[in-house]
Chain A
Amino acid sequence: MSKSNTISPRETAASRNFGTMLKELDWRRYVIYLGFVVVFLFFAILLRDQGFLSPNNLLNIFRQTATITVMAVGMTYVIACAEIDLSVGSVAGLSSVCTAMALSQWGLVPGILAGLAVGLVVGSVNGALVSLLGIPSFLVTLGMLGIAVGVAQWITASAPQPILNDTFNMLFGSGNFGPVPGLIVWSAIFVAIGAVVLNRTRFGRQVLATGGNRNAAEFTGINTKRIKFQVLLISGMAASVAGMLYAGRLQSGRFQWGAGDELSAIAAVILGGTSLFGGFGSVIGTLFGALLIGLINNGLILAGLDSSQQQVVRGAIIILAVALARKK
Chain B
Amino acid sequence: MNTSDNVVEMHSISKGFNGVSVLKDVSFDVRKGEVHALAGGNGAGKSTLMKILQGVYQADEGEILIGGQPVAIKSIQDAKAAGIGMVFQEFSLVPSLTVAQNIFLASEPLSAGGLIDDRAAVRRAKEIFADMEVNVDPRAEVSRLGTAYWQLTEIAKALSQDAQVLIMDEPTASLARHESEALFELIDRLKQRGISIIYISHRMDEVYRLADRITILRDGRRLLTDALTDVTPGQIVEGIVGKKIEGQMAYRARDHVAHDGPPLLEVHGLNAGRRVRDVSFALRPGEILGLAGLMGSGRTELARVLFGIDRLDSGEVLIRGKKTNLASPQQAIDAGVALIPEDRRAQGLILDHSVRDNLLLPLLGQLRRGPLLDSAKGKELSSSLIKKFAVKVAHPHRPVRLLSGGNQQKVVIAKWLGTDPDILILDEPTAGVDIGTKSEILDMIRELANAGKAVIVISSEYPELLAVSDRVLVLKDGTVIRDIPRSDIADEEYLQLAVQGV
Contacts and interface: CB of A to CB of B under 8 A. Distances in A.
A216 interface: yes
A10 B343 contact: no
B421 to A, nearest CB: 21
Interface residues of A, number: 39
B147 interface: yes
A199 B108 CA distance: 12
Contact of B137 (A16, A196, A206): A16
Contacts of A222: 105-106
Given A208-B97, A220-B92, A8 B342 contact: no
Given A201-B115, A201-B116, A209-B97, A4 B92 contact: no
Contacts of A11: 135
B47 interface: no
Contact of B101 (A205, A211, A218, A280): A205
B235 interface: no
Q: Is the interface of B mostly helix, strand, loop or mixed?
A: loop
Given A4-B147, A212-B97, A205 B116 contact: yes
Interface string B102-134: 000110101000111010000000000000001
A12 interface: yes
B169 to A, nearest CB: 13
A4 B77 contact: no
A278 B468 CA distance: 45
Nearest to A26: B141
A4 B149 CA distance: 10
A8 B115 contact: no
B335 interface: no
Contacts of B95: 212-213, 279
B76 interface: yes
Nearest to B341: A1
A196 B113 CA distance: 12
Contacts of A24: 144
Contacts of A275: 96
Contacts of A12: 135
Nearest to B140: A16
Most interface-central of B91, B115, B147, B304 (chain A CB within 10 A) = B115
Contacts of A16: 137, 140
Nearest to A200: B115
Interface in B481-502: none
A219 B110 CA distance: 22
A42 B95 CA distance: 37
B176 interface: yes
Given A13-B137, A205-B101, A221-B75, A5 B96 contact: no
Nearest to B78: A221
Interface stretch (B38-46, B251-259, B293-301, B373-381): B293-301
B28 interface: no
B277 to A, nearest CB: 16
Nearest to A3: B146
A209 B294 CA distance: 33
A184 B76 CA distance: 45
B88 interface: yes
B146 A5 contact: yes
A171 B401 CA distance: 55
Contacts of A199: 116
Contacts of B75: 221
A217 interface: yes
A61 B429 CA distance: 60
Nearest to A14: B135
Given A16-B137, A221-B80, A7 B115 contact: no
A206 B140 contact: no
Given A1-B300, A4-B296, A5-B149, A10 B134 contact: yes
Nearest to A206: B106
B454 interface: no
Contacts of B77: 221
B86 to A, nearest CB: 8
A23 B135 CA distance: 21
B105 A9 contact: no
Interface string A78-114: 0000000000000000000000000000000000000
Given A13-B137, A209-B97, A280-B96, A7 B146 contact: yes
A10 B76 contact: no
B243 interface: no
B108 A219 contact: no
B350 interface: no
A211 B96 CA distance: 9
B296 A6 contact: yes
A209 B142 CA distance: 12
A54 interface: no
Contacts of B295: 4, 6
A9 B108 contact: no
Interface string B327-364: 00000000000000011000000000000000000000
A205 B88 contact: no
B145 interface: yes
A279 B105 CA distance: 13
B148 A9 contact: yes
B388 to A, nearest CB: 29
A10 B182 contact: yes
B135 A205 contact: no
A213 B92 contact: yes
B149 A9 contact: yes
A6 to B, nearest CB: 4
Given A16-B140, A200-B115, A205-B105, A5 B148 contact: yes
A43 B92 CA distance: 47
A9 B116 CA distance: 28
B180 to A, nearest CB: 11
Contacts of B274: none
A280 B98 CA distance: 11
B209 interface: no
7 tightest A-B CB contacts, nearest first: A5-B146, A279-B96, A212-B94, A6-B296, A212-B96, A200-B115, A216-B92
12 contacts: A4-B296, A5-B145, A5-B147, A7-B146, A202-B108, A205-B105, A205-B106, A212-B94, A219-B88, A220-B76, A221-B80, A221-B106
Given A8-B148, A201-B115, A279-B95, 6 more contacts: A4-B146, A16-B137, A196-B115, A219-B76, A221-B75, A279-B94
